[in-house]
Amino acid sequence: MAVVTPAERRVALEGAAQGAGAAETVRRALVRHPTFLLGLVVLAVVVLSGALAPVWWTGDPLEMKPAERLQRPSAGHWFGSDNFGRDIYTRTLYGARISLAVGGAVAVMSLVLGTALGLVIGFYRRLDMVMMRVMDGLMAIPAILLALALMALMKASVQNVIIALVIPEIPRVARLVRASVLSLREHLMVEGARALGVRTPRILVRYILPALVAPLVVQGTYICASAILFEAYLSFLGAGTPPFIPSWGNIMAEGRAYVQLAFWIILFPGLFLAATVLAINLVGDGLRDLLDVR
């Protein structure tokens, strides 16, 4: 890692003082935060089940077997089958791919765009007043409504879902970055750099940005978790991932007509969805404690 936060440095120093290696430091951190470890394990399971979906005794997620429709969970269909006789277990594992891709892409894009905007607003004071009012206004629109409205204007595709979820997040990230920049720009090291004649863009990249990495990583995990939830909401409402793609929201949307007959169509993808979001939130909470953010 290029950046060493104060918390890491402290942990590292403590470890070094006691003659312990980096592995020992990490091990102790994990023991002290069992929920962080739990989150990592669950997340790893979901990532592996999605990434290696064809390996885990799945079939074709789109294959319809009319003779096997609405079967309860059994040896043939571990999670049961839907009204087209498609295997829910297979579809759920493949659904992990969509959710993780959307969550990861939304987190990375919101962080990059929001950080760029926040750095500029925080350092060029003349922009601040106007831009912050604009950010306040955009944040007053509930994210899910804004995302729904954006989806109404775009073609249903995974790419557009990502765009619709990134836009509401940008002002939130920008706000966080701006607040940090405002406190950091008074820092002695920045003043020193200025006195030496370092130009603003270089100060932003070399002095301010490194200090922002820890809070942004934590923020990124929360954005990822909520993006996965929102993708499922949008798909469930019929304004998200196109219906032919087996995303968790789509599987559940198709299962809603069969709540009384075939509850498993909703139960299993939802279980994966809840576990994934919970795992990412636990990782986020753990990182926040370990990196000593706020």
Applying CB under 8 A, the residues found at the interface with another protein are 35, 133-134, 136-138, 140-146, 148-154, 225, 229, 232-233, 236-239, 252, 256, 259-260, 263, 266-267, 270, 273-274, 277-278, 281-282, 285
Closest approach, Cβ 287 to another protein, in A, equals 14
- Of 15 and 255, CB closest to another protein: 255
Burial label, 153 (beta-carbon count in 10 A; 0-12, 13-18, 19+): exposed
Amino acid making up residue 72: R
- Of 39 and 118, CB closest to another protein: 39
Closest approach, Cβ 285 to another protein, in A, equals 7
* CA within 13 Å, CB half, 130: 5
- Of 23 and 152, CB closest to another protein: 152
> Is the CB of residue 46 less than 8 Å from the CB of residue 275?
yes
Q: Whole-angstrom Cα distance, residue 231 to residue 226?
A: 9
> Is the CB of residue 175 less than 8 Å from the CB of residue 135?
yes
Closest approach, Cβ 190 to another protein, in A, equals 30
- Of 23 and 129, CB closest to another protein: 129
In the chain the first and final C-alpha atoms are separated, in Å, by 21
Closest approach, Cβ 29 to another protein, in A, equals 19
Q: How many CB atoms lie within 10 A of CB 176?
A: 19
Tell me the C-alpha to C-alpha distance, in Å, between residue 31 and each of 26, 27, 286: 9, 6, 11
* The total number of residues written for the chain in this structure: 294
Closest approach, Cβ 276 to another protein, in A, equals 9
- Of 56 and 263, CB closest to another protein: 263
Q: Whole-angstrom Cα distance, residue 285 to residue 35?
A: 9
Tell me the C-alpha to C-alpha distance, in Å, between residue 276 and each of 93, 160, 236, 279: 12, 22, 17, 5
- Of 190 and 266, CB closest to another protein: 266
Closest approach, Cβ 126 to another protein, in A, equals 17
